Structure 1
Amino acid sequence: MRHTLPIAPQFYVTAPQPCPYLDGRMERKLFTALQGDYAGKLNDSLSKQGFRRSQNVLYRPSCSDCSACLSARIRVADFKPSRSQRRTLNRNRSLRREATSPWATEDQYALFRSYLEARHASGGMADMDIFEFAAMIEETPVRSRVVEYTQPADPATGSDQRLAAVCLTDVMDDGLSLVYSFYDPNMTERSLGTYVILDHIEIAREAGLPYVYMGYWVPGSSKMGYKARFDPVEIYHEGEWKELSDPATFEADPHPLSTDPIAEQVARINLPDSRPTD
């Protein structure tokens, strides 16, 4: 199915498939291609309207009878780490961060496989080979970085240097978007998933960027509950960003009128000016 606005791009809808977040639900996505000189502007604009990037595609959940998935971002200027988050920062003080161009390596893929096998063995990425992994990292038409976190070698214990965590990150005009992150599942005491987000808040603060985009928060999903702990979090709900003051007020139960028809959704999308800038 295709839906077209008066100017490019064209929007499509995926066939329904099982939801990865809520048991018994079916998911459907609204998506468009991301390419050419217009890609950066389109990524910036649609990310502010609840879309996410995957390689050269921008997508947003558009399920027929559920609207639980809500795009979430952290307001950097007002963020103050909790006591638990401060402990996470202290536990990972020894890690070394390096931001590079989006280029896949064998070490990254080995860590990615270990992460999937421990955390998402039955997920949609479980069968991803090294070529598909390289495409996920390298096929980006926008400004992206691979942020690696490495534990240095310790002569006192005889331990070697090891790659602890990796995050594919897009740099947008108003923030950083965490496209995909993974980490060493054997370092559970380090809370590396939380640490990667905390460190990106600091990177954004240093760069003067107001937001860190975390993907979707899904009420009722244990996998996504942690995103509500980065106060203040804003969610994209009913066409605008709102502070998530009380997660308990959002219901995961579907409602037959919770999702508007696709044509109405597309008509409300605001597109950036496609004319080239000087």
Structure 2
Amino acid sequence: MTLPNDPPLQRIQFYVTTPYPCGYLDGRQAQSLIAAPHHLIDNRVYSDLIQFGFRRSGKFAYRPHCENCSACVPVRLPVSEFKPSRSQRRAWKHHANLTVQVLDLHYSEEHFKLYRAYQHARHTGGGMDADGVEQYRNFLAQSNVETVLVEFRENEVLKMVSVVDCVRDGLSAVYTFYDCSNPHASYGTYSILWLAEWCRRIQRPYLFLGYWIAESRKMAYKQDFQPLEALLDGEWHPLMKNSSKDV
């Protein structure tokens, strides 16, 4: 990995974690490359790291670094070229009654309750459904970079929260959790559409969507947002729907 000759970035060191069970592909072991020390990773440094496929969890910046697997592919959406599909336009219209508020990053008991309900509904047995307040705070309620919370409410009732990093050339969707009680809702899709529109309004070219994993049902949906770009061999390339990552 060749980093730009930028003094703040050159002060960062990288280390590889020991193997741990992969959270996306059953039966596989994962490893991560961690950027350290975390207190030096401010918005300027993180804006560079995200170009190399790094993501943020709490105060830590990381990217997958698995010895025998390259399934996790960083992806971003160039918002000026994005054209919503018919089903995405339906989701936008269906949730047009949601009110949205952008807030500074903070801990909220209301948010935590929604997060726990979401984990129990969507990720039972994955470990995160057992998260307590401390784990939630470490994961989503602290950051060394410019991070905001986006609240989505319907008739003043909290329906969804998106944790979003504001980087130099875009927005990065860190994590979104929502009310799963309505099987006809499309909150996840709506959040991406709303963030893409926000990118356009503030004239930032990209919405970073984390990792696309073709073999994971939880992560493959990102390919539905086109035209998507993938970081492959150190460069961003178009990733067409239903293509493999070997483009």
Q: Same fold (TM over 0.5)?
A: yes
Within the candidate set 180, 198, 202, 1:207 is matched to: 202
1:244 matches 2:247: no
The 8 Å contact of residues 58 and 142 in structure 2, kept in 1 or not, is answered as yes
How far apart, CA to CA, are the structure 2 residues paired with 1:191 and 1:99? Answer: 20
Within the candidate set 72, 76, 81, 2:75 is matched to: 72
Question: What is the number of residues matched between the two proteins?
Answer: 238
1:32 matches 2:52: no
1:167 matches 2:170: no
How far apart, CA to CA, are the structure 2 residues paired with 1:240 and 1:52? Answer: 17
1:187 is displaced (CA, Å) by 2.4
Gapped regions of structure 2 (runs ≥ 5): none
The 8 Å contact of residues 165 and 173 in structure 2, kept in 1 or not, is answered as yes
Within the candidate set 112, 129, 133, 1:130 is matched to: 133
Question: Partner of 1:178 in structure 2?
Answer: 173
Equivalent residue letter for 1:168? V
How far apart, CA to CA, are the structure 2 residues paired with 1:222 and 1:138? Answer: 27
Question: Partner of 2:124 in structure 1?
Answer: 121
Within the candidate set 171, 185, 188, 2:183 is matched to: 188
How far apart, CA to CA, are the structure 2 residues paired with 1:195 and 1:93? Answer: 9
1:245 is displaced (CA, Å) by 2.0
How far apart, CA to CA, are the structure 2 residues paired with 1:20 and 1:102? Answer: 26
1:220 matches 2:215: yes
Percent identity over the alignment? 39
1:21 is displaced (CA, Å) by 1.3
Equivalent residue letter for 1:87? R
- What are the residue-to-residue correspondences of 1:223-234 with 2, within 5 Å? 223-234=218-229
How far apart, CA to CA, are the structure 1 residues paired with 2:113 and 2:179? Answer: 10
Within the candidate set 86, 89, 94, 1:86 is matched to: 89
Larger Rg: 1
How far apart, CA to CA, are the structure 2 residues paired with 1:188 and 1:211? Answer: 30
Evaluate the alpha carbon distance shift between residue 113 and residue 246 of structure 1 in structure 2; reply closer, same or farther with a 3 A threshold.
Answer: closer
How far apart, CA to CA, are the structure 2 residues paired with 1:188 and 1:131? Answer: 30
How far apart, CA to CA, are the structure 2 residues paired with 1:83 and 1:69? Answer: 27
1:8 matches 2:3: no
The 8 Å contact of residues 57 and 140 in structure 2, kept in 1 or not, is answered as no
3-state SS in 2 of match to 1:72: strand
Equivalent residue letter for 2:231? Y
- When the two structures are superposed, what TM-score results if normalisation uses the length of structure 1? 0.82
How far apart, CA to CA, are the structure 2 residues paired with 1:24 and 1:129? Answer: 26
Give CA-to-partner distance per residue, 1:113-165, whole Å, 9 cap, x none.
Answer: 1000000111232221123212333321111100000001xxxxxxxx31100
3-state SS in 2 of match to 1:131: helix
How far apart, CA to CA, are the structure 2 residues paired with 1:124 and 1:44? Answer: 30
- What are the residue-to-residue correspondences of 1:248-263 with 2, within 5 Å? 248-250=243-245
How far apart, CA to CA, are the structure 2 residues paired with 1:130 and 1:92? Answer: 30
Give CA-to-partner distance per residue, 1:3-28, whole Å, 9 cap, x none.
Answer: xx994212111111111111221110
1:246 is displaced (CA, Å) by 4.5
Equivalent residue letter for 1:123? G
Equivalent residue letter for 1:16? P
Evaluate the alpha carbon distance shift between residue 246 and residue 105 of structure 1 in structure 2; reply closer, same or farther with a 3 A threshold.
Answer: closer
Question: Partner of 1:56 in structure 2?
Answer: 59
- When the two structures are superposed, what TM-score results if normalisation uses the length of structure 2? 0.92
How far apart, CA to CA, are the structure 1 residues paired with 2:104 and 2:33? Answer: 29
Evaluate the alpha carbon distance shift between residue 96 and residue 246 of structure 1 in structure 2; reply closer, same or farther with a 3 A threshold.
Answer: closer
Gapped regions of structure 1 (runs ≥ 5): 153-160, 252-278
Equivalent residue letter for 2:39? Q
The 8 Å contact of residues 223 and 240 in structure 2, kept in 1 or not, is answered as no
